[in-house]
Structure 1
Amino acid sequence: MLVCQGKNCRKEGAKAVYKAIQKEVDQRELKKAVQVTKTKCLEQCKGKCVAVDYPEGTWYRNLTPSDSKDLLDSMMARDVNRDLAGHILKNGTFKKVK
C-alpha cells in the first residue's frame, strides 16, 4: 500500500491516514502480507488523501483514518471497495470508478 504524503494530502490528514493503516496492519499481524509505504506526491491532488493498492493498481481517494479497517478488509479479500476507490487498473488501463 502506497500512501501519498504530498502537500495537499497532508493538509487533508494523510499523516493520520498512514498511521491508522499501519496500526491496523500491526493489530491484524499482517506485516508479512501488507507493506505500508509513505510516498511523495502521487499527483492525484483532487482525491486528497490518496493510497494505492500496489501491485493491484486500485487507487483509493478521500481517505480518512476511519477508512483503514474497510480498506484492509477489501485488500485482504482481493475485492475493490467501490465507496473508497477512485480508479481501478483493468486490462492494463485505469478505469474511473463510478
Structure 2
Amino acid sequence: MATWNLTKTEHHILICNGSSCKKAGAEALTQSIRSEIAEKGLDPVIHTSRTLCNGRCHDKCVLISYPVGRWYKEMTSADAPRFIEGLITGDGMEEKISHSYNGACFEPTAGTVLGIEKDEKIVEKVSKKL
C-alpha cells in the first residue's frame, strides 16, 4: 500500500463509486478526473479518493471537493476538464453544485432534493436490516 506525500495538496476530491453512481458512470468520471489532473501536472496539488456511497444517490454521480466543502451532482466524465480548471481558477460549476458548506452546515442549492432526515429511528431501522 502506498503512502502519498500530501504536503503540497490544496484540493481533495472524493468521487462516489457507490452502486447508484457506478451504474451512472462513476468509474468513467473517476478516470477522467484523474487523467485531467495528470495531463495538467496537478498530481502534487490535487488528491483524489474513490469512495463508496455518500448518501446522495438521487444526485448521481456525486463528487465532493475539499477543503471548500462543495458537493457536486450529476457529474459525468465530460465535466472533468471544466471541473479541474474550475478548481484552479476558482470558477465553480455552479449549476452542478448541490450543497456548499457555509461554516456551520451544508446548505442545499435551489432545486436540490433535501432527502430524508437522519434521525435515530431511521438509522436504527436501516441498521437492523443490514
Pick the TM interval, shorter chain.
Answer: over 0.9
Which digits, 9 at most, give the CA deviation of each residue in 1:8-43, with x for residues without a partner? 000000000000000000000000110011001111
Unaligned runs of 5+ in 2: 1-12, 111-130
Output the TM-score relative to the length of structure 1: 0.94
- 2:108: which partner in 1? 96
- 1:7: which partner in 2? 19
The percent identity for this pair of structures is 28
SS in 1 for 2:98: strand
- 2:52: which partner in 1? 40
Which digits, 9 at most, give the CA deviation of each residue in 1:36-85, with x for residues without a partner? 11001111101011010012100001011000011112211234321111
Output the TM-score relative to the length of structure 2: 0.72
Unaligned runs of 5+ in 1: none
Could you tell me which amino acid in structure 1 is paired with residue 74 of structure 2?
Answer: N
Runs ≥4 residues deviating over 3 A: none
Return the match for 1:29 from 41, 47, 61.
Answer: 41
Structure number with higher relative contact order (C-alpha < 8 Å, ≥ 6 residues apart): 1
Return the match for 1:49 from 61, 69, 84.
Answer: 61
Question: Does 2:88 align with 1:76?
Answer: yes
